[in-house]
Amino acid sequence: MLKRCITNETLETTGFSYTLSLINGKYKMTILYTLMNFGIVRFNEMKKYIGDISYKTLSHNLKELEADGLIHREEYPQIPPKVEYSLTERGKSLIPILDQMCTWGEENRQT
């Protein structure tokens, strides 16, 4: 059996690194978690639920998640404007990972 040597490897080429590049950041996992739990969520609802995120940061993170194909943005042509966000099928494929993180957190939370 051939043993792998770290000097011949780079983290950048791993699936872990790719996944992390999509969900890295202070709020992306929180946004995905919110959509996992509530399905379709409007911008202001998400802002209120998350709490300590600025409008600009939330907007920026939503745009990145949409560009990466993890969330869907639905805009309705009405006044006042109505925009809803939801997970795409690709985003839904992260649910088992998010569920495992929730389980681990519940099992290891210090009360």
Query: Residue 82's beta-bridge partner residues?
Result: 76
Burial of 95 (0-12, 13-18, 19+ CB in 10 A): middle
Tens-digit pLDDT profile for residues 19-55: 888 888 899 999 999 999 999 999 999 999 999 999 9
- DSSP secondary structure string, 25-84? SSSHHHHHHHHHHHSSEEHHHHHHHH-S--HHHHHHHHHHHHHTTSEEEEEE-SSS-EEE
Residue 5 has pLDDT above 80, yes or no: no
What mean pLDDT do residues 68-89 have? 94
| Inter-residue contact 61 to 73 (CB < 8 Å) | no
Distance between start and end Cα atoms, the chain = 45
